[in-house]
Amino acid sequence: MLPILYYGTEAQKQKYLPGLISGELKAAYCLTEPGSGSDALAAKTRADLTSDGQFYVLNGQKMWITNSGFADLFIVFAKIGGEKFTGFIVERNSEGLTFGAEENKLGIKGSSTRQVFFENVHVPAENLLGEIGKGHLIAFNILNVGRFKLGVGVMGGAKKVASLSVQYANERVQFGEPISHFGAIQHKLAEQAIRTFAVESAIYRVSNLLEIKAQEAMHAGASYAEARQLAAEEYAIECAILKVAGSEALDYVVDEMVQIYGGMGYSEEAPAARAYRDARINRIFEGTNEINRMLTVDMLFKRAMKGAIDLVGPAWAVQKELASMPSMEAVTGAYGEEKKALEDFKKIVLMTAGAAAKMQMDGKLNLKEAQEILMSVADMMIELFLAESLLLRVEKLSSMETSIDQDTYDAILQTHFHDAGFRIQKSSTDALTAFAEGDLLRTFLMGLKRFSKYPPRNVMSLRRKIASALIEANAYCF
């Protein structure tokens, strides 16, 4: 639906959108090919304009196409003349359009997934979507929105799975008491909630940022569709972060659900097995998590090179700070320790990413060939964004009346910051040791130690507090 809304002509919108909105028409999105998954622009499906200019003739093959078993419309990407990557609207009754058998998938078995074949399919010229040669804009901007929506979807799944885990733990009796009374199970229940709550906090934040940006664009004269595109482009990094963080949080939550269910978790009679199978696809589609991690860092560096983000200034300030004596200022105020830790997390990211970028500019490092460094930087960016989003949310909740006492929200915050600090420290160490050595490396590691000062927390006690709220509510309750 969105490619037509964003890039369609007025005639295309009037013809197709009412049916798509009402559900009378179903649509499918044909981008992936056998030889082009993450590398979408390597597509080989070809479109050639007929001599009379009335039709584009499509030949090629698409695979892993969701909804293809019943879709009425297909958004298809093909190269005009074998070169210009372009979008098309193709109707199901088009002659030469055929389908493979339903794929026998690991999970999401309720979803129709087939190959789609184009053999001299004549598409009316008026069904060309957007501009010739600009199909990549459609593909990538729609993927940005798709990543945001996927983050929302997996968060909902994580909440459901967390609730089922609590309910089973309360019902399952071993050694004369519910297994929810055992510390090892309480750890799992609490960690399910912490990861879900952190992702949800980031989703609330990004959804608000997207809405504000879209409203600003509309007030400046942009159409509804243009405003939504601009918002998705502006927050493409954040959408990629939500996709990665959400899908990996759900994987953790689902895996622990299977463990909490024990033997029943491995049985198709219980809900854990289906959830386990269904969750796995989320790290693959809408761009694999590896691709999204690399995009996150790549987009950051590109924006810095264009001057849209000042990365060099703050990174240089961190470098100067490393050469000075550490500050001994006392941390004060509500959530002062978390705010200080957040500043330090940012310094670690700037120090690591800035050093890697400088190494590349000096010709001493090729980040395209050192993807592991990009992965580590991306992981730090994800941790930073989740931690900041969580702090903003918990701080806001502290001024509101809620059914959960504030100490429990604070327990989620403190446990997350405690663990995130160690994860950021490891990612930074992995990256720094990959491209620095000698005195330079020692300087960086000293800086890393200086910026890793969040006080140790009794996370066992904090997790038990979180678990108690879940067990009492018999559901995910945050």
Q: Domain coordinates of the chain in residue numbers?
A: 2-133, 136-291, 309-327+334-473
Bridge partner list, 86: 78
DSSP H/E element including 183: helix 183-219
State the pLDDT confidence band at 328, using cuts at 50, 70 and 90.
low
Give pLDDT tens digits for 448-462.
999 999 999 999 999
d(C-alpha 75, C-alpha 56), whole Å: 14
SS3 assignment, position 28: strand
Average per-residue pLDDT for the chain: 95
Indicate if 309-327+334-473 has the same CATH topology as 136-291: yes
Residue 331 has pLDDT above 90, yes or no: no
Domain spanning 136-291: CATH superfamily: Butyryl-CoA Dehydrogenase, subunit A, domain 3 (1.20.140.10)
Give pLDDT tens digits for 235-254.
999 999 999 999 999 999 99
Residue 470 to residues 323, 361, 409: CA-CA distances in angstroms?
A: 47, 50, 12
Sign of CA dihedral 93, 98, 101, 103: negative
pLDDT of residue 330: 73
State the pLDDT confidence band at 303, using cuts at 50, 70 and 90.
confident
Which of these is catalytic: 238, 286, 338, 388?
286
pLDDT of residue 319: 79
Among 38-52, 173-187, 264-278, whose mean pLDDT is lowest? 38-52
Residue 358 has pLDDT above 90, yes or no: no
Residue 324 has pLDDT above 90, yes or no: no
Residue 255 to residues 250, 258, 262, 278: CA-CA distances in angstroms?
A: 8, 5, 11, 12
Start-to-end CA span in the chain (Å): 33
pTM over 0.85: yes
Higher pLDDT: 200 or 308? It is 200
Domain 309-327+334-473 CATH class label: mainly alpha
Alpha-helix runs per DSSP H in 235-311: 236-261, 271-279, 289-306
Mean pLDDT of 123-133: 97
SS3 assignment, position 448: helix
User: Is domain 2-133 annotated with CATH 2.40.110.10?
Assistant: yes
State the pLDDT confidence band at 326, using cuts at 50, 70 and 90.
confident
Bridge partner list, 47: 58, 80
Give pLDDT tens digits for 136-153.
999 988 999 999 999 999
Q: Is 171 annotated as catalytic? A: no
pLDDT of residue 273: 97
Give pLDDT tens digits for 155-171.
999 999 999 999 999 99
Contact indicator for 141, 229 with CB cutoff of 8 Å: yes
Contact indicator for 248, 198 with CB cutoff of 8 Å: no
pLDDT of residue 155: 97
Token pair recorded at residue 315: 């990174």
pLDDT of residue 312: 75
